[in-house]
Structure 1
Amino acid sequence: MGRPRTPLLDRERITTTALELLDAQGEFSVPQIARRLGVQTGSVYHHVEGRDGIIELLRERIAEGIDIAALDLKPWDTAMAALARSYRAAFAAHPRAIPVLMTSPVRAPRILELYERAVALLLDTGFPLPDVMPVITGLENVVLGSALDLAAPETMWEIADSTATPHLAKALDAIGDHRADRAFELALEGFLLQARHRLETD
């Protein structure tokens, strides 16, 4: 029997399969990937460095949707806002990946490049070195929290008796469409306002 024209296994297929499992069930394992691809578990390890290696491949794959060029925009807060929106959109497409990606240190070259450029931007802007990583991490907290919120139902509160919670009922009636988007923009605006204040007072 001749060799198959298309290889049964490579890093691209492993990443795609892991992401499909993650999107469907919020988790993946190397044996699950092997079964889905029709290979032995040991064969997967010939292409990746175990689970942690797959997590970094997933991080790289999802990060392809982040527009790093946003960091070239001026001024700095416009750049950070554009990056935040792009970052949020990339992770909102795969919200179940967020908890899994938080379990291992970042080693993926594309992500490290993003951080390097963000750090350089903030330093060039005048942020003191001790404030740089808190600013970046704070922005990530806003972005990733909102990405998870986008995966939630549009209506997160079910009120059986509006007389018991009249203020909540009125607030929900008034919120309109795109609740998650509006909340994200409010949080982003507040975060950037505080970052500007820190920059001006340090």
Structure 2
Amino acid sequence: MGRPRTPLLDRERITATALQLIDESGDFSVPQIARRLGAQTGSVYHHVDGREGIVELLRERVASAIDTATLDLRPWDAAVEAWARSYRAAFAAHPRAIPMLMTSPVRAPRVLEQYERAVDLLLAAGFAPAEVMPLLVALENLVLGSALDLAAPEAMWELTDRAPTPRLAEVLAAVGEGRADRAFDVGLTAFMNHARAVLDGREH
């Protein structure tokens, strides 16, 4: 009998497996990836730069679903709004990855390039350099928080007789379906109005 065929390992399969584990449980480990791929743990390390390297591959994988062509739209505010909506959709597909990606430094080159394009867009629109990162981080907080909200149950408030809340019951009944989408629209509208006001204030 010949030797058992060695499982083919590459960065693509490792990334896909890590994302599958995160989608299932919210985390991954290199030994888990190796077991699922039928390989030795050491073999996985031959293809990636440890756990941190896998996290950055995950970031690239999730962010690759963002439509970067939105950043070419004009005027600038149409580009920012379209990018934000695409960004939210990409991360809403993998909500359990968000806490991990939000709390680790961004190193993935293709993701950094996307930030560079967003920064260039805002600078070209007339924002001062000191204004750009607060705007981007605020937008990212809105987008990723809303992506998590999309994964939450539609009924996030469970009302009981032990703590009567008739006003809360009234507004929950009034909002109907699509609460997360409507809340995102409110937040994004407020963000865009603020950003436009920053520029308008400078021009007057």
TM-score (norm 1): 0.95
Q: Does 1:76 align with 2:58?
A: no
Match of 1:65 in 2: 65
Deviations 1:18-49 (A, max 9, x none): 00100000010111111111111110000000
Find the aligned partners of 1:32 and 1:103 in 2 and give their Cα distance: 22
Superposition RMSD in Å: 1.6
Alignment coverage as a number of residue pairs: 201
Q: Does 1:169 align with 2:189?
A: no
Structure 2 unpaired stretches of 5+: none
Find the aligned partners of 1:177 and 1:162 in 2 and give their Cα distance: 26
Cα shift at 1:103: 2.9
Match of 1:35 in 2: 35
Find the aligned partners of 1:88 and 1:173 in 2 and give their Cα distance: 26
TM-score (norm 2): 0.94
Q: Secondary structure at the match of 1:161?
A: coil
In the alignment, is the contact (CA less than 8 A) between 1:91 and 1:144 conserved in 2? yes
Identity %: 68
Match of 1:8 in 2: 8
Find the aligned partners of 1:114 and 1:3 in 2 and give their Cα distance: 43
Match of 1:148 in 2: 148
Change in CA separation of 1:188 and 1:162 when aligned onto 2, cut-off 3 Å? farther
- In the TM superposition, what are the counterparts of 1:171-190 in structure 2 within 5 Å? 171-190=171-190
Find the aligned partners of 1:68 and 1:46 in 2 and give their Cα distance: 32
The residue identity in structure 2 corresponding to 1:93 is A
Find the aligned partners of 1:43 and 1:126 in 2 and give their Cα distance: 50
Match of 1:100 in 2: 100
Write out the 4+ residue segments of structure 1 that deviate beyond 6 Å after TM superposition.
none
Structure 1 unpaired stretches of 5+: none
In the alignment, is the contact (CA less than 8 A) between 1:162 and 1:169 conserved in 2? no
